[in-house]
Structure 1
Amino acid sequence: MAFENLSQQLESAVGPELRDQIMDGSDKARKADKFRKARWMKGAIERMDALVDEPTRIRILEQRGHTCGWRGRAEKIAKMRTKCSTLELFVEGLKPILAGNGVELDGRTIITSYPRCYCGAVSATKEPISMTYCHCGKGYWMAMFEHVFGKPVKVDILQTVITGGDSCRFAIHVPEEEF
């Protein structure tokens, strides 16, 4: 799924020629162990960094994150959201749903953190990978909270494990109209 999704996002954004350059070697990587897959993905992201402008790269990876498996959690969060009268209660309600993730509130910003990269396409990496890849995780959180709030949500990447951080941390900015 990871390879097909990236290939589709690339073709849509930059066309088949650039997609083929970036996806070079993916046929072998699909059948490889998790370490070789992660190494291939590192190379694909490096090729993307060299061939595609930054706003387009970010859009491609954010869209990829929008297709990741967030919907089940988002439904639980949306249901819980209807029972919360304050942002503080909402954040407390997030903690059991996002079990395994740190969840804290900083003003109107929800900070999520987790000790490792959960993405199966790169989590086995032994070398740092470009921050470009982490926009996929950003897209995951955007999609989840846009579903919950029914409007666009700004998310910032604070740090990530695959770029050398000690945890993955994302800042989810709660829309002003909420709570």
Structure 2
Amino acid sequence: MSNNTPPLDFEKAWQGKLKTGLDQYLAPKERDRILAGGEHLTMESAAKDKIIWSCKMLERLEDVSDEKTRQEIMTGCACHYPKAELDDARGIFLETGDVDQVIDLLQAKFEAFLRDVLELDEELVLEIISKGWGLAGVREGDRIIATKIPKSGYLAEYFQSGDPAEKRKLYCHCPRVRDGVGDDPQLPREYCYCGAGFYQGIWETVLREPIRVEVLESVMDGGDVCTIAVHLPESITVDNK
């Protein structure tokens, strides 16, 4: 599993993805109104400044779009798992049509990442696995419930900390806002559809079908973890339960 490194200026790259998503639904004048002020933000900008702007951006977007549209725009801002590393998962699905075999493969990749890349102690690896965290998720009928691990660079600190607020900041994967998790103002859960897009991208690559994702829990609004439901398409769940 690759440990994704943000671009030199992650903020500018993220703003570019947001602009692309807005272009699919809004006229240029309306798009520019939604984005107003974001052009001044960089990776060096304070997390609080980015959170304040993001809250206002989402408020403006809410005025001109429905919930489904906002979620689709935000999932389009996601970082993605390398598609080349999903070729074997796609191959298994093409050969077997079995989502559970794909989940098993993704779980094996995730466990290898913990042991071989992060070089975690086996006790910690087993604890993470027991929680059901990670890349693969756990199948529950026509959904896959995926719970992220804490940000890999902060795993040791996360498990050592006894402060719930600090643990949420160490857990968050978003380089834009993680330093402001739990502070005022608080980003709405809708923002975290960006993170949900990571899992959407995986399953759309494997299944080659549109995938709906749902944020069930987020550290951004007080949850202990970030949990995403991946809703499998009917064509999969009917034939392969």
Q: Same fold (TM over 0.5)?
A: yes
2:117 aligned with 1:104, yes or no? Answer: no
Matches within 5 A, 1:10-29: 10-29=22-41
Q: Which amino acid aligns with 1:69?
A: H
Deviation at 1:43, TM superposition (A): 2.9
Matches within 5 A, 1:58-73: 58-65=71-78, 68-70=79-81, 71-73=83-85
Which residue does the alignment assign to 1:147?
205
Q: Which amino acid aligns with 2:147?
A: S
Deviation at 1:3, TM superposition (A): 0.7
Q: Contact 2:80 / 2:201 at 8 angstroms: preserved in 1?
A: no
Q: Distance in 1 between matches of 2:91 and 2:51?
A: 36
Q: Distance in 1 between matches of 2:62 and 2:206?
A: 32
Q: Contact 2:138 / 2:145 at 8 angstroms: preserved in 1?
A: yes
Note closer, same or farther for the CA distance 1:73–1:166 as it changes in structure 2 (3 Å cut). farther
Q: Which amino acid aligns with 1:125?
A: G
Q: Distance in 2 between matches of 1:25 and 1:32?
A: 15
Deviation at 1:109, TM superposition (A): 2.6
Deviation at 1:31, TM superposition (A): 5.4
2:212 aligned with 1:138, yes or no? Answer: no
In terms of mean alpha carbon deviation, does 130-139 or 1-10 score higher? 130-139
Percent of aligned pairs with the same residue? 24
Deviation at 1:108, TM superposition (A): 4.1
2:92 aligned with 1:52, yes or no? Answer: no
* Ranges in structure 2 where 5+ consecutive residues have no aligned partner: 1-12, 115-132, 151-170
2:178 aligned with 1:123, yes or no? Answer: yes
Larger Rg computed on CA atoms = 2
RMSD after superposition:
2.9
Q: Distance in 2 between matches of 1:74 and 1:42?
A: 34
Three-state SS of the structure 2 residue aligned to 1:13 is coil
User: Number of aligned pairs?
Assistant: 177
User: What TM-score, normalized to structure 2?
Assistant: 0.61
In terms of mean alpha carbon deviation, does 157-166 or 52-61 score higher? 52-61
Three-state SS of the structure 1 residue aligned to 2:228 is strand
* Ranges in structure 1 where 5+ consecutive residues have no aligned partner: none
